[in-house]
A and B are shown apart, each in its own frame.
Chain A
């Protein structure tokens, strides 16, 4: 999907024209304040068909989980083909009030709220915040099974390496795109994050980053 002349003057020195990979999982990385959230926000405004989950989400009333999800489902045109509630283990929470849930539980509910809208494009800003390893792993599997175009901001380079089909790097007022193999290189990442980053390879051939 071609995105033309996306203007974000405070972050990028010129309007961006780039390709949003369809039905792929694209991970956005970059320093704090580089403009990742601004990019996602601008994309959400450009693509009315997208569902967007910002970093911070607040409930302003006494609302139960099932009421929140019912609002999200109002946007869906068809019955869900994937059991989102089961994947994120939402069923036991359905009758609970949002205010009584832990941060991680709330994040799972917000993710379910966005995904149950069944939009062709999903934009997630730091969706892993508060999620334990089990749900981080489940989320990637769930996003793949939904067969939609996903753009998500993450800070975990190992997660990006394991799960991404495509990587966007926001750095120095530019957006760079490539495959994880191309973009997740020691020297490049060390320059992007302005800190030495090393990549290790285990005896089983697994690659991982540390600082």
Chain B
């Protein structure tokens, strides 16, 4: 069953990649310039970004022992977006490296949250509510500052080559960190007491993982804008569909995330061509039915 699922996802990724790169829009085949400077960076960003949003959610859900949570619900995406808007206002050149900036700002906000909120509210059902309150506050700030709608996310049409390779570097750093020997996400399946008894410093281990998760989310948000709930839903779809512990779910979750964002972006780009629809809105539109599926299953349980 799992092999078939992997096969379906890989097939989906190949199809959407081929369509994004090669399909003629407006009756014209893509020129070499359009292929290399527009379509390829956009596809790479969608594939990597989708994977990173989904993996980020798995990490936050696991390390905070909260099933229905992702980084956007902690205000990290909104904070990162607001930070980029402010930074760019002061120093417009920073916009070129917004992916690194977004990752850094999200990690900084994570550090601030860990000083108090994540210490006292971890594992509490109030945490998602408190996080959403913070996210709404920060999001309102971004909307007022940039005259944008804020909640719908942006189009990936604005992805640059620099964005694509920057995201690749952030993704690679995260993967290398995850591969280290001590990084066992599995420990978070245990209650805190047992983790401590096994000689594991949970604070240090969770910081390590959450830095990766926040960096991933902030980096993608810098281009895509704040996307609420999508990571939560994708991570939980894999829990229901795949099962297995969190460490084992990282790869399938990344693949599902890559597929969902690349498909969403393909539709956002082509449905009303030449009008570009916001990719974030399309992603949320496509993910919402899965949320219904999860909630339906929750009641069936």
Question: What residues make up the interface of A, taking CB atoms closer than 8 Å to B?
Answer: 44, 51-52, 54, 57-64, 67-68, 71-72, 74-75, 97, 113, 117
Excluding A67-B189, A68-B189, A75-B197, 8 further A-B contacts by CB distance (< 8 Å) are A54-B191, A58-B191, A59-B189, A59-B190, A60-B190, A61-B189, A62-B243, A71-B186
- Assuming the contacts A61-B245, A63-B245, A67-B186, asked whether A51 and B197 have C-beta atoms less than 8 A apart, the reply is yes
A residues near B187, Cβ cutoff 8 Å: 71
CA distance in complex: A175, B210 (Å): 44
> In angstroms, how far is the closest chain A Cβ from the Cβ of B25?
42
B residues near A67, Cβ cutoff 8 Å: 186, 189, 245
In the complex, the answer to whether B244 meets A62 with C-beta atoms within 8 Å is yes
A residues near B197, Cβ cutoff 8 Å: 44, 51-52, 75, 117
Closest to A63 in B: B189
Sample 5 A-B pairs with CB under 8 A, ordered by A number.
Answer: A51-B197, A57-B194, A59-B190, A60-B188, A68-B190
In the complex, the answer to whether A54 meets B193 with C-beta atoms within 8 Å is yes
- Selected contact of B198 from candidates A58, A60, A64, A72, CB within 8 Å: A72
CA distance in complex: A151, B65 (Å): 30
B residues near A59, Cβ cutoff 8 Å: 189-190
B239 contacts the other chain (Cβ, under 8 Å)?
yes
B residues near A72, Cβ cutoff 8 Å: 198
CA distance in complex: A116, B42 (Å): 52
CA distance in complex: A72, B244 (Å): 18
Which has the most chain A C-beta neighbours within 10 Å: B186, B188, B190, B246?
B190
In the complex, the answer to whether B65 meets A60 with C-beta atoms within 8 Å is yes
Closest to B246 in A: A61
In the complex, the answer to whether B188 meets A61 with C-beta atoms within 8 Å is yes
A residues near B142, Cβ cutoff 8 Å: none
In the complex, the answer to whether A71 meets B188 with C-beta atoms within 8 Å is no
B199 contacts the other chain (Cβ, under 8 Å)?
yes
B residues near A74, Cβ cutoff 8 Å: 198
Closest to B240 in A: A62
A residues near B188, Cβ cutoff 8 Å: 60-61
A-B contact number at CB 8 A: 49
CA distance in complex: A44, B190 (Å): 17
Interfacial residues of chain B within 211-250, with CB under 8 A of chain A in the complex: 239, 243-246
- Assuming the contacts A67-B245, A75-B199, A97-B243, asked whether A60 and B189 have C-beta atoms less than 8 A apart, the reply is yes
B residues near A61, Cβ cutoff 8 Å: 62, 186, 188-189, 245-246
Q: Which 6 A-B pairs have the closest CB atoms?
A: A61-B189, A60-B65, A63-B189, A62-B243, A60-B189, A75-B198
Which has the most chain A C-beta neighbours within 10 Å: B197, B198, B244, B246?
B197
B residues near A51, Cβ cutoff 8 Å: 197
Which has the most chain B C-beta neighbours within 10 Å: A62, A68, A113?
A62
CA distance in complex: A73, B194 (Å): 12
CA distance in complex: A75, B198 (Å): 6
> In angstroms, how far is the closest chain A Cβ from the Cβ of B141?
34
> In angstroms, how far is the closest chain A Cβ from the Cβ of B251?
15
In the complex, the answer to whether B198 meets A63 with C-beta atoms within 8 Å is no
CA distance in complex: A64, B189 (Å): 11
In the complex, the answer to whether A71 meets B243 with C-beta atoms within 8 Å is no
CA distance in complex: A71, B191 (Å): 12
> In angstroms, how far is the closest chain B Cβ from the Cβ of A182?
33
In the complex, the answer to whether B186 meets A62 with C-beta atoms within 8 Å is no
A residues near B198, Cβ cutoff 8 Å: 71-72, 74-75, 117
CA distance in complex: A57, B199 (Å): 18
Which has the most chain A C-beta neighbours within 10 Å: B187, B189, B193?
B189
Closest to A67 in B: B245
B residues near A68, Cβ cutoff 8 Å: 189-190
CA distance in complex: A60, B190 (Å): 6
CA distance in complex: A92, B51 (Å): 37
